[in-house]
Structure formats: structure tokens, C-alpha cells
Amino acid sequence: MVPKTQYYTATTIDGFIADPDNSLEWLFAVEEGREDESGANPFSTFFAGVGAFAMGATTYEWILEHESLLTRPEKWQEYYQDIPAWVFTHRDLPPIPGADLTFVRGDVRPVHAAMTARAGGKNIWVTGGGELAGAFADAGLLDELILGVAPATLGAGAPLLPRRLMPSRIKLTSVEQRGQFAYLSYALGPPPA
């Protein structure tokens, strides 16, 4: 199986991944959908296929604060093990002790190449935000969208994917209900020439 670069994220019905304060608290209010029919956690199954991942500075800062990772760095290992992560940022951010982090800026193409080399034949996960996922899509480096649509609307906030992507590039590959979540998977084709 050929490794993929995947944008796996939760979103509201109205297409936001975080509220106007960049919080994900809305997501934790949804009680059902974190397990499949067998009782397995779908994210754990997904993450087992990940060899490297990327996130934007806002996502990193939210995780850092929400999980108190500077005072409890062992939590990073609990969640992400030794999987290397790249953080796209234009500012200086504190590293998490013991985490395999690389802070980068600029074009996603050389970073994607470095991630692919470190991923060991596994998938690359673009965790967020939407602008970063959009940069990978613009470069033709995003293969799949996996969206967990939650029963919530925010009216404003961080958009899921702030890009114009037409149906000629997007193909629905699966639909699944897990509790209160609708999981939609899409194959993403290359940008028009």
C-alpha cells in the first residue's frame, strides 16, 4: 500500500475546526463517536499507520496549553509516542522536552520530503489547521481528507479548509456513522495544471 498524506480532523456541521478563540472545547462536549462498533478508538487505528505528522503554530500552542505539556511532557509521549512532528510557525515556540519536534516555516514541499523520509513508509498526518492543510493541497501533496463531522455549529472560527477545491479534485470514498459523528473520507486529486 502506498503511503498517503492525510488531513484527519474533526469539524462542525458549518465547517469550523476551532471556535473564534482557537479552542476545541466544543469537540469534547460531543459524548458519542469516539469508538467504532468493536469498541476500538478510530483515532488509535488511524494513528497506528502514521509515521510523521505536521501541525500549525496555533494547533501546537493549543495542545501545549490544554495538556500542560511544558510541565507534563510525558503526556506528549502518551499521545504521540516517538512519531516525529513538524510545527509550521513564524514565531519562536517552546519545545516540549523529549518530543521529536522540528519547527519550520515556508514552503511545505521540502518539509513534506523530510517527513516522507522519516515516516518509514507510513502515512503522513496533517493535523491542523485548515490553512496548513490547504498549503499541502495547493502543492498537490494532500491525498486524503478524513473528516469527523460533529453535531455542532459555531457560526465563526477557524475554517476546515479555507480553499476553493472543486468536485473535479475531490471524490467521496466512504461514509460512516460513529455515534454522533459522521465520518466522511475523500480522495483528493492534484491541483489543475
**49, 91 in Cβ contact below 8 A?**
no
| Cα gap 158→18, rounded to integer Å | 5
Check pLDDT > 80 for residue 156.
yes
pLDDT tens digits, one per residue of 30-45: 876 555 566 667 788 8
Ordered by start, the domain boundaries in the chain are: 5-188
Give tens-digit pLDDT for 100-155.
999 999 999 999 999 999 999 999 999 989 999 999 999 999 999 999 999 999 99
CATH topology for 5-188 is Dihydrofolate Reductase, subunit A (3.40.430)
Instruction: Name the pTM for this structure.
Output: 0.93
Query: How far apart are the C-alpha atoms of 121 and 128, rounded to whole Å?
Result: 22
